[in-house]
A = this chain, B = another copy of it.
Amino acid sequence: MRANSDNLAAIFTPKSVAVIGASTTPEKLGFQILKNIRDAGFKGPIYPVNPKATSILDLRCFPSIAQVEGAPELAVIIVPAGAVPATLAACGAKGVKGAIVISGGFSESGPEGEALQRQAVEVAREQKIRMVGPNCQGVNNPYHGLCASWPLLTMQGAIAVVSQSGTVAAALMDWAAQEGIGVSALVSMGNRADVDEADLIEYFDSHAQTRAIALYIEGVKDGPRFLAAARRATKPIVVLKPGRTEKGRQAAESHTKSLAGRDEVYQGAFRQFGICRAETLHELYDFSKALAYLRRPPGQKVLFVTSSGGCGVLAADVAAGEGLDVAPLPEALHAQLRSSLPRHFVVNNPLDLTGDATAKMYKDVIAAAKGSFDIVTVIFGDPIVGASEVIDRDHPELVVFLGGADVEREEGRRLHARGVPVFPTPERGMRALAQLARFGLPREKAH
């Protein structure tokens, strides 16, 4: 009965959308979601459904889904929980293929809600409708102008964000938008009554714009299916799963009414199936960014090139702690750089160009040193104008930028626009590099 992930197309790339429970009240989600779909630039017809309005946001409004003049492929549903099963049935009759159920009041709210959720799933399966939610923050596909979620975010990128928490998903997409790096899609899974992480791993693994999957889960819905999807996946998967402590586990079970399970079991499975585990939200973001935009270095030998001795020290300390090889410069390279660089530059690893560094000096030193190391970490520790031009777009170094204030933000945006990820501190950069060395796609497989 369960359809495969192919038919998630109606959810991510529908030709037309109905918003059932669209509202005229700006504070309500039924208004905000409609507005976000419109403002994100959705190209197809949008059909607000609300029996009490004739038009919302200048869009013609229909009293019911049955009366829509057109053929909505996707329905975004924001009606009271009790009305959801009937709404899904009416959607099916209308030919709707995908549903995103925002409404809460299902399994998360007790036994009655649980019964209602079972009913909704039955209807959806009968009607051959794939359903995200209920009790979720929706779906955002910036490549399709489809922000069926909130807040309004539209920046396109290469990370697919899949989350049991709407806030976590929104936060990641917001960070990515702020940095000018974007996401390939966002899915807030809510109660996962139908579509779950296994479906989504499968879908995004064959999704052209996605190069890494960032997953927040408090417990997997179906262990064997999840592991099968993870085993088949060819793209890196990064997971943040809380519940290391007993209190955290209890909170997770109370939140999603799913079995959080013993952490060691998860840890073992993640290890076995090559899933990269993040310890914090920032790591979930950083690791996904590294794995989506950089390739696995051929080995562990890392060179640091920096204008900030302090940042070099911080980076080397974390890198060594992560098992990376902070190797000395080969003799010939040392001699070459020593003779060509000013006397006060520290020709060592970290290679400290001091506060006198210019973009050109970085460029020359990286070019000379690159062949002797598996990866070069470039730390711009000052307002270095032109820093973004230093980095090779095709085989980029790992870049950290800090202490540069406005110049840092401008050059960072330029790097992100060129598809080169930038990390905000030496420590975060080195933690990400360590994951890249373990879980990164090799260069020959690069997209």
Tell me which of A169, A252, A310, A408 has the highest count of chain B C-beta atoms within 10 A of its own C-beta. Answer: A310
Selected contact of A309 from candidates B245, B247, B256, CB within 8 Å = B256
**A287 to B281 alpha-carbon distance, docked (Å):** 18
B281 touching A174, Cβ below 8 Å: no
A168 touching B317, Cβ below 8 Å: no
Residue of B with least CB distance to A260: B313
Which chain A residues have a beta carbon within 8 Å of chain B's beta carbons? 29, 104-105, 108-109, 137, 150-153, 163-171, 174, 177, 216, 218, 242-252, 254-256, 279-282, 307-314, 316-321, 326, 343-344, 346, 348-350, 352, 354-356, 381-383, 402-408, 425-428
Chain B: minimal CB distance from A406 (Å): 7
**A193 to B346 alpha-carbon distance, docked (Å):** 20
**A256 to B171 alpha-carbon distance, docked (Å):** 39
Q: Given the known inter-chain contacts A321-B244, A344-B105, please indicate yes or no for A251 contacting B313, CB distance below 8 A.
A: yes
B405 touching A310, Cβ below 8 Å: no
B309 touching A255, Cβ below 8 Å: yes
**A64 to B417 alpha-carbon distance, docked (Å):** 48
Residue of B with least CB distance to A253: B313
Residue of B with least CB distance to A380: B167
B247 touching A316, Cβ below 8 Å: yes
* B contact residues around A166 at 8 Å (CB): 308, 310, 355, 403
* B contact residues around A356 at 8 Å (CB): 104
**A428 to B280 alpha-carbon distance, docked (Å):** 9
Chain B: minimal CB distance from A159 (Å): 16
A246 touching B320, Cβ below 8 Å: yes
* B contact residues around A256 at 8 Å (CB): 309
Q: A244-B321, A247-B319, A254-B348 are in contact. List 9 more A-B contacts (CB 8 A).
A: A105-B344, A137-B355, A153-B405, A242-B317, A243-B317, A245-B316, A245-B317, A251-B349, A281-B425
Selected contact of A247 from candidates B104, B326, B354, CB within 8 Å = B326
A313 touching B344, Cβ below 8 Å: no
Selected contact of A109 from candidates B244, B279, B343, B355, CB within 8 Å = B343
Chain B: minimal CB distance from A267 (Å): 14
Residue of B with least CB distance to A385: B27
* B contact residues around A108 at 8 Å (CB): 344
Chain B: minimal CB distance from A125 (Å): 25
Q: Given the known inter-chain contacts A309-B255, A348-B254, A406-B151, please indicate yes or no for A317 contacting B244, CB distance below 8 A.
A: yes
Chain B: minimal CB distance from A24 (Å): 18
Q: List 21 A-B contacts (CB under 8 A).
A: A29-B355, A137-B355, A163-B310, A165-B381, A167-B307, A168-B314, A170-B382, A170-B404, A171-B402, A177-B405, A218-B313, A244-B317, A245-B320, A247-B316, A247-B317, A248-B313, A248-B316, A248-B318, A251-B316, A251-B348, A281-B425
Q: Given the known inter-chain contacts A326-B247, A344-B104, A406-B151, please indicate yes or no for A255 contacting B313, CB distance below 8 A.
A: yes
Residue of B with least CB distance to A352: B255
**A407 to B346 alpha-carbon distance, docked (Å):** 45
A314 touching B242, Cβ below 8 Å: yes
**A167 to B154 alpha-carbon distance, docked (Å):** 33
Residue of B with least CB distance to A407: B151
Chain B: minimal CB distance from A162 (Å): 13
**A234 to B117 alpha-carbon distance, docked (Å):** 58
* B contact residues around A343 at 8 Å (CB): 109
Chain B: minimal CB distance from A180 (Å): 15
* B contact residues around A316 at 8 Å (CB): 245, 247-248, 250-251
**A383 to B153 alpha-carbon distance, docked (Å):** 13
Q: Given the known inter-chain contacts A254-B348, A383-B150, please indicate yes or no for A313 contacting B246, CB distance below 8 A.
A: no
**A249 to B427 alpha-carbon distance, docked (Å):** 15
